[in-house]
Amino acid sequence: MLTVGYIGLGLMGKSIARNILKAGFPLVVHNRSRAAVDELVSEGAKPAFSAAEVARQVDIVFTNLPDSPDVEAVTLGPGGIVEGAHPGLIMVDNSTIKPVVARQIAQALAAHGVQCLDAPVSGGDIGARNGTLAIMVGGPAAALETALPVLQALGKTITRVGDSGAGQIAKACNQIMVAAQMTAMGELLVFARKAGADPQKVVEAIKGGAAQCWSLDVKPPRLFAGNRQPGFKAYMQAKDLNIVMETARQYGIPLPVTAASTQLFNAMLQMGMAELDNSAVIGVIEALAGVSLLPTE
């Protein structure tokens, strides 16, 4: 039985770690805030007080952190995974970070006998809780084969896209599509309301046709109920889109639609909506249009 470590117990990380524990794997956990650690320890996990301490004790160590600098610090910084590295250790990063950083970390840890998989996920907090995430993997095929039984506790779709960094490229592509869906959905709902049609009936009319998508299936009922809580927080969507745009500049890729989506999500942050769901980007469009879909008392 593989011993697993999980570092980063945020909104999704805690649910993912819990599913690993439920699948029967011995689990060592670490998080900057200790409340999540204590919660999982009460369910059978073992606590650790540094990333290095986790790495020393496990066969596979997962990370799930906000951004590229956080992953770099936890893997290669003082008290990081590198200090607890041992030959045969596999590091799996569920974070969404820059592809170039994923490659740099993989190269640095390889010198210590560690194989790295960049394995960002999609499916939001619901997918994390239910173990139905889509997992996009970059890195050595042999490492994925070893880690697969654990990854199967996280998600229902596990796809090796290519070598190191390829998982992060796939996640960037995912976020291009997610942002387009969220902004388009916001536009169509505001369009329907202001042009004089019932947005709920419009959604029912169009989601059985070519407009059908996950966002249109899942998000409108929450929006119509006035629920704009995450989900997937807007500031994380904005962060991911900024990674997309920076990578696009690096490779000279024109992304005009994604550039507009990025501006809308960055506007959310400036309007005080950073902690809301990414579907709450509709709030920016509502402000521009002078209408609201929020239910009236």
Q: Can you give the residue ranges of every domain in the chain?
A: 4-163, 170-289
Mean pLDDT of 93-103: 97
Give the contacts of 163 (CB within 8 A, at least 6 positions apart): 138, 139, 140
Does pLDDT of 90 surpass 90?
yes
Domain at 4-163: CATH code:
3.40.50.720
The confidence score (pLDDT) of residue 296 equals 75
Does pLDDT of 290 surpass 70?
yes
The confidence score (pLDDT) of residue 273 equals 98
Query: How many residues appear in the chain?
Result: 297
3-class secondary structure, 183: helix
- Given the residues 14, 98, 171, 233, the one annotated as active site: 171
128 within 8 A of 64, measured Cβ to Cβ: no
Say what the pTM is. Answer: 0.94
The confidence score (pLDDT) of residue 148 equals 98
Q: Specify whether 14 is catalytic.
A: no
The confidence score (pLDDT) of residue 115 equals 98
Q: How far apart are CA 175 and CA 148, in angstroms?
A: 24
Of 257, 218, 229, the C-alpha closest to 241 is: 257
The confidence score (pLDDT) of residue 79 equals 97
pLDDT tens figures, 59-87: 999 999 999 999 999 999 999 999 999 99
pLDDT tens figures, 210-267: 999 999 999 999 999 999 999 889 999 999 999 999 999 999 999 999 999 999 999 9
Give the contacts of 15 (CB within 8 A, at least 6 positions apart): 125, 128, 129
Mean pLDDT of the chain: 97
Question: Angle 234-251/99-110 helices, nearest 10 degrees?
Answer: 80
pLDDT tens figures, 133-190: 999 999 999 999 999 999 999 999 999 999 999 999 999 999 999 999 999 999 999 9
Question: Angle 234-251/166-195 helices, nearest 10 degrees?
Answer: 120
At the topology level of CATH, where does 170-289 sit? N-(1-d-carboxylethyl)-l-norvaline Dehydrogenase; domain 2 (1.10.1040)
Q: How far apart are CA 28 and CA 144, in angstroms?
A: 20
Does pLDDT of 297 surpass 70?
no
The confidence score (pLDDT) of residue 113 equals 97
Q: How far apart are CA 268 and CA 43, in angstroms?
A: 37
